[in-house]
Structure 1
Amino acid sequence: MSDPCKPQACAIQDCLRKNGFNESGCTQLIDQLYQCCSKFYLENGSEARSPCCPIPRLLQFKMEQRAREELDAKLLDK
């Protein structure tokens, strides 16, 4: 089975390279990956695994963290 979130993961890697590994320019792509991973687990169950996605528990934590806090990546600009 091909990984449905691989394009998003690769886009993040390309973005990080282009931005000198400063995540602040790539936060939208990270959010897109997390959305893809969330859909992947909804469709395949929490036992499914993808090399491009955090495990479901960590994914949920990261999505909640990004929704309620200033993104860590934004702190790099200060």
Structure 2
Amino acid sequence: MSKESPPCQAQACDLQDCLGRNTYHPEKCDNILRQLYECCQQMYKANPQSESSACPIPNVVDRWMKDHAK
């Protein structure tokens, strides 16, 4: 059994920590949320069949990235 974390798990944990610290100001975590979605997008691009408990399904990631373009 592998003890390796799922892809993008570190970013998901960072986001949870940030949201916990900024309960009333979640917008302070926007940059960490972007890092998570970028990680997920890269994972899906590398292998469209990838799965990670840290990432939403691919079409949600794609939609979020389009809606939050830099």
TM-score by length of 1: 0.76
Give identity over the alignment, percent: 39
Aligned residues: 67
CA distance in 2, matches of 1:21, 1:10: 18
Deviations 1:8-52 (A, max 9, x none): 00000000000125321100000000110011111122x321111
Query: SS in structure 2 opposite 1:41?
Result: helix
Moved over 2 A (4+): none
Structure 1 residue ranges without an equivalent (≥5): 69-78
Does residue 2 (structure 1) correspond to residue 5 (structure 2)? The answer is: yes
CA distance in 1, matches of 2:10, 2:63: 22
Structure 2 residue ranges without an equivalent (≥5): none
Partner of 1:57: 59
CA distance in 1, matches of 2:12, 2:24: 14
CA distance in 2, matches of 1:22, 1:50: 27
Map 1:1-78; keep pairs closer than 5 Å.
2-20=5-23, 22-45=25-48, 47-67=49-69
TM-score by length of 2: 0.84
Q: CA RMSD in A?
A: 1.6
